[in-house]
Amino acid sequence: MMLDLLQAVGVACGILGAVLTADATARRRRQGFGVWIVANAAWVAAATLTANPYMLVMFGFYLLTAAKGHRANREASP
């Protein structure tokens, strides 16, 4: 049950984040990176529950890059 919920959040937020980060406005891109942070955190939790080190490393890295993207877009916006 918990694993299904985490994966559903990961998929839905991953897709929404991709749509938002492709937007021309800095505000939408910043929102997209925020949504990606949620998605990647859900995947990290799912990887932890399933003891999948490969998924944990990949989505842990994605989580860090999403946080960096969010910070960069926050600093670049007026």
Contact 64, 45 (CB under 8 A): no
Question: pLDDT per position in the chain (78 positions), as tens?
Answer: 999 999 999 999 999 999 999 999 989 999 999 999 999 999 999 999 999 999 999 999 999 999 999 999 887 666
Number of domains in the chain: 1
Other CB atoms within 10 A of residue 48 CB: 15
Contact 16, 67 (CB under 8 A): no
The type of residue at 47 is A
The type of residue at 11 is V
Three-state SS at 34: helix
- Structural domain of 65: 2-76
